[in-house]
Amino acid sequence: MNTRTDKLNAEFKRLIAEILTKKVKDPRITEMFTVVDVDCDRELSTAKVYISIYSKDESKASATFSAIKENGSLVRREISRVMHIRKVPEFKFLPDTSMEYGQKIDELLYELSKKNSND
């Protein structure tokens, strides 16, 4: 991929995490979260921001994710203030499902190995 886009993605990831933890004062953000990845398109019009929320309480996790999404415009404003680039993309916050996917694959592999050992 484009090295400029890769550098911007890394910088966006760092800044979004920093802004969400230090500048956003939303009481609904109660759970621990991580900005897993940022994937910006080549035109810098949109960027997908993958968020992983660590919580056993589904309602708190959902509230935290909603609050993060709703503060997207503040995040964009802060980034445009800090970074000196012509265009700051619109951020689309998405839940990161890679951990659930990995867990599902592990379960399937375990079931297959159990089945094969019984044969």
| Contact of 86 with 40, CB cutoff 8 Å | no
Domain extent, residue 52, equals 3-118
Q: Which residue from 112, 107, 29, 14 is spatially nearest to 64, judged by alpha carbons?
A: 29
Which CATH number belongs to the domain containing residue 9 in this structure?
3.30.300.20
Number of domains in the chain: 1
pLDDT in tens, 45-58: 999 999 999 888 98
Q: Closest by alpha carbon to 15, among 77, 70, 69, 64?
A: 77
Q: Among residues 83, 49, 81, 55, which one has the least CA distance to residue 68?
A: 49
**57-103 pLDDT per residue, tens:** 989 999 999 999 999 999 999 999 999 888 899 999 999 877 777 77
Among the listed residues 43, 48, 41, the one whose alpha carbon sits nearest the alpha carbon of residue 16: 48
Q: What is the spatial distance between Cα 78 and Cα 100, in angstroms, rounded to a whole number? A: 31
